[in-house]
Amino acid sequence: MTIKENLKRAIENLTQAKIEEPMLKARLLLCYVLEMTKEDLIIHSYEELKKDMEIKYQKRIRQLIEGIPLQYITHHQEFMKLDFYVDERVLIPRADTETIVEEVICYASLLKKQKVRILDLCTGSGIIAISIKKYLPKCEILATDISNAAMEVAKKNAKCHNVAIDFIQSDLFEKIEGEFDIIVSNPPYIKKEVIPTLDKQVQREPKIALDGGKDGLLFYKKIIQESPEYLTNEGGLFLEIGYDQKKEVLEIIANTKQYDGMNCKKDLAGNDRMIVARKKR
């Protein structure tokens, strides 16, 4: 079978299995297997595909049908125009999270300090810390996660992007010392009972990176309660939230009576996506 015929069959199989964007995913998988660009596929579309490559491609298509996310198969995800390695040890980066990175970069750029210190809690694959460091190379960043497996992926990404970031395996603030100008976090925030109802591909992602406790607010409560101790005066707290958590998270922050200047930012889809709060003097 030719490359074109293999691609057509894969698209039909994915469509039958009700996989979203079957044409795009079939093409991306074929590019991955053959180590070709999309342009190469077109140029060589009528060439015969070697049997071993055909078998390998069919295997990848089956994995997709079985519910394994495309990013876990190709180990690739773009974020902030950067290429990140991902696998089953970490949450797959979402474009929505770019909102919080952009806000942190903007906030840090306005601080009149030679070196801005930033703490990234629940770093996962390291996308937030690494993206900030790429765009603000003079800042000093400490990234933490409770999962040693996730930390291995984050360190791999930091090395690939040639950025100097300090990593500490820590349960939130457990092993953290010193003060920071900015604390940023995209913590687990899905309600425990909701997780079994999520798309089967999402359920392939680490439960530890999804489970926000009974009400989805477990980590917000801990971070908001403890963070003032680790923030400089007027330091900024940046939290990614679920689209329906704005009211609850703002109430938690207000109840601490240690923050002001609270506001919520929306993502490009118009959903509430991030809370920003400034520590009182």
* Model pLDDT for residues 177-199, shown as the tens digit of each residue: 999 999 999 999 999 999 999 98
Q: What is the mean pLDDT of residues 249-273?
A: 93
Q: What is the mean pLDDT of residues 63-73?
A: 96
Please answer whether residues 188 and 209 qualify as being in contact, where contact means their C-beta atoms are separated by less than 8 angstroms: yes
- Any residues with CB less than 8 A from the CB of 264 and at least 6 apart, and which? 241, 246, 250, 272, 274, 275, 276
Q: What's domain 80-279's architecture?
A: 3-Layer(aba) Sandwich (3.40)
For residue 270, pLDDT over 90 is answered with yes
Kindly report, residue by residue over 6-40, the tens digit of the pLDDT: 999 999 999 999 999 999 999 999 999 999 999 99
Task: Check residue 83 and give its pLDDT.
Answer: 96
Task: Check residue 113 and give its pLDDT.
Answer: 87
Cα→Cα distances 100→126, 142, 183, 187, 234, Å: 14, 17, 11, 12, 18
Q: Which range has the worst mean pLDDT, 4-8, 110-114, 119-123, 148-152?
A: 110-114
114 pLDDT band (50/70/90 cuts)? confident
Q: Is the pTM of this model over 0.95?
A: no
Q: What is the mean pLDDT of residues 211-231?
A: 97
Task: Check residue 200 and give its pLDDT.
Answer: 85
For residue 141, pLDDT over 90 is answered with yes
